[in-house]
Structures are given as structure tokens and as C-alpha cells.
């Protein structure tokens, strides 16, 4: 079956001296893998038509059996050149693409995740970056996958949580915050979280565009608390340990000389 779709390049690797295997995120087919035959030959029609973080129009032969399809044609829609010269944007884009590649199951259509990643890469192309943006993306991806942490109601009993300055217990395994009555139960996988950090997380979770998170000023203490909290949540609920997360956050923390 021949199919035409928009597709984001997540990663690629050699299949032979002249061909590559490319992993894509698409809106209507989900995460797919294609063989791009002869793409490294000097006169290949695929030369320059795809690269990391490109959004492309892809024509493929979809095999009914087997997990690797055959790319027939490819044309770039967005090439995002900044992501090849801005080291902070490149590190962030690598992590976002790697997270989607690990977290999203193969061939499970999800237009929302495609649109989220496409918009996030556009934002990096326009010059936006920073750890709040990375945390915002993680929260939005969890939302799209139906795994968003519960920050306004108790994750155990569903009771509304009181507002105001406080330190609240966050239960990773339960999927969010606990009310005082439920906090006295099983004590494993708990973290004490301040109201300032909770306020940031709740605001970023509700924000559908990254401008708000980028305008947030985080102290080093707040950044470290959010990094640990979300990192543990992703590892537990998505069963991922993307190596690029630590690298991206280290790069984002550096000052440009």
C-alpha cells in the first residue's frame, strides 16, 4: 500500500554502504521506521531531502507484515537550519526527539504528539530554549499520553487540594500529589515539594504554548527540584531513561562566553 504523509525525522542509522534506516514520527501512522534505499549514492534523489529534525512530505510503501517500510519519495517542508548551528537548541531538539522515539509505541497514530513535537522544534528554530521549555515539553507529552501528573487533586482519593504556601507530598507511583489524609499511607516513592515548584508545574501543565514557561525565572534550587521530580516521573510511568536529558540540561545550564 502506497501512503503519503507528513513525517518528522527522529533518528537514522546506516543499513548498508548506500542505504539508511530512518525513524519518523507521523500524525496518522504514529512512529514508523522506513528503509531509504540508495539514499547515500551520489545521484540519489533522496540526497538533501531529509535530515535530523526535518519535517518532510513522505511517500512510502507500507508493508502489511514486518516493522520496516520502504520510503519511495521524500521532500522537505521545514529544514530548521538553526538546529545545526545553535548548540543549545540542537541538544534540546536531540533530547525531545529521543524522548518521543522511546516513549511512543510503534505504529500507534497520535496526531497530538506529532503536532507537539513539530511545534516544539519550530520554537527551538525561532531561538527559544531553556530548561523550563524542556520541562514544559515533558509535561505536555505526558498529557498527550494520558499520564499527566495530578497536581490539583489528590492522586489517591481525588479530593481537592488546599491552595497557599505549603509543602506537599508527591507520590510518583500514585501519579501525583496526596492530600494529608492519604499521605500517611504507603511512604515509598515520595518527594516533598514546595508550593513554588508546584505552582510552576501546574502553570506549565496548563500552558498550551511555550511562551509562558520561557518567561519563568527559576532559581537553581527550583530547577533541580523540578528536574528530579519530572525525571523520576518519566522513568516510572514511561519506563524511559533517555541519556540525552542529562546532557541537554547540562548544556542549557552553561553560560555563553
The upper half-sphere exposure of residue 228, i.e. CA atoms within 13 Å in the direction of its Cβ, equals 13
pLDDT for 171 beyond 60: yes
For residues 78-86, average pLDDT: 95
How confident is the model at residue 32, as a pLDDT?
A: 96
How confident is the model at residue 186, as a pLDDT?
A: 58
How confident is the model at residue 241, as a pLDDT?
A: 75
Which pLDDT tens digit goes with each residue over 3-54?
999 999 999 999 999 999 999 999 999 999 999 999 999 999 999 999 999 9
Which pLDDT tens digit goes with each residue over 177-236?
998 888 876 566 688 888 899 989 999 999 888 877 777 888 999 999 999 999 999 999
Assign 162 a pLDDT band (cuts: 50, 70, 90): confident
Q: Which three cell numbers stand for residue 91?
A: 541538544
How confident is the model at residue 257, as a pLDDT?
A: 44
Domain ranges of the chain: 1-79, 125-253
Which range, of 36-50, 54-68, 161-175, averages the lowest pLDDT?
A: 161-175
CATH fold for domain 125-253? de novo design (two linked rop proteins) (1.20.1440)
How confident is the model at residue 254, as a pLDDT?
A: 80
How confident is the model at residue 239, as a pLDDT?
A: 86
How confident is the model at residue 166, as a pLDDT?
A: 64
User: 103: closest CA among 6, 226, 5, 233?
Assistant: 233
For residues 151-155, average pLDDT: 90
Assign 161 a pLDDT band (cuts: 50, 70, 90): confident
pLDDT for 243 beyond 50: yes
Buried b or exposed e, range 43-78, using 16+ CB within 10 angstroms: eeebeebbbbbbbbebbbeeeeeeeebebeebeeee
CATH fold for domain 1-79? OB fold (Dihydrolipoamide Acetyltransferase, E2P) (2.40.50)
HEC string of 127-142? Answer: CCCCHHHHHHHHHHHH
pLDDT for 138 beyond 80: yes
Which pLDDT tens digit goes with each residue over 84-135?
999 999 999 999 999 999 999 999 999 999 999 999 999 999 987 789 999 9
Distance CA(214)–CA(217), nearest Å, equals: 8
pTM beyond 0.85, yes or no: yes
Angle between helices 220-238 and 131-144 (to 10 degrees): 30
Which range, of 25-39, 67-81, 240-254, averages the lowest pLDDT?
A: 240-254
Assign 167 a pLDDT band (cuts: 50, 70, 90): low
**Beta carbons within 10 angstroms of residue 166's beta carbon:** 12
How confident is the model at residue 105, as a pLDDT?
A: 92
Amino acid at each position: 500500500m502506497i501512503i503519503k504523509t507528513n513525517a518528522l525525522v527522529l533518528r537514522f542509522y546506516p543499513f548498508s554502504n548506500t542505504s539508511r534506516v530512518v525513524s519518523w514520527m507521523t500524525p496518522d501512522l504514529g512512529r514508523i521506521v522506513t528503509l531509504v534505499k540508495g539514499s547515500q549514492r551520489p545521484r540519489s534523489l533522496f540526497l538533501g531531502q531529509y535530515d535530523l529534525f526535518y519535517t518532510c512530505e513522505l511517500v512510502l510503501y507500507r508493508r502489511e507484515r514486518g516493522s520496516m517500510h520502504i520510503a519511495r519519495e521524500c521532500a522537505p517542508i521545514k529544514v530548521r537550519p538553526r538546529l545545526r548551528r545553535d548548540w543549545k537548541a540542537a541538544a534540546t531538539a536531540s533530547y525531545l526527539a529521543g524522548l518521543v522515539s522511546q516513549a511512543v509505541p510503534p505504529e500507534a497514530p497520535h496526531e497530538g504528539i506529532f503536532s507537539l513535537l513539530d511545534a516544539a522544534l519550530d520554537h527551538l528554530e525561532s531561538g527559544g530554549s531553556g530548561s523550563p521549555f524542556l520541562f514544559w515539553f515533558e509535561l505536555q507529552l505526558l498529557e498527550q499520553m494520558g499520564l499527566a501528573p495530578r497536581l490539583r487533586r489528590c492522586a489517591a482519593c481525588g479530593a481537592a487540594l488546599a491552595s497557599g504556601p505549603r509543602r506537599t507530598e508527591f507520590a510518583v507511583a500514585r501519579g501525583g500529589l496526596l492530600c494529608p489524609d492519604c499521605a500517611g499511607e504507603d511512604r515509598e516513592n515520595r518527594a516533598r515539594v514546595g508550593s513554588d515548584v508546584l505552582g510552576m508545574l501546574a502553570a506549565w501543565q496548563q500552558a498550551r504554548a511555550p511562551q509562558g514557561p520561557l518567561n519563568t525565572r527559576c532559581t537553581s534550587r527550583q530547577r533541580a527540584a523540578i528536574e528530579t521530580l519530572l525525571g523520576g516521573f518519566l522513568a516510572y510511568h514511561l519506563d524511559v531513561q533517555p541519556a540525552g536529558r542529562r546532557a541537554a540540561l547540562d548544556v542549557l545550564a552553561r553560560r555563553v562566553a
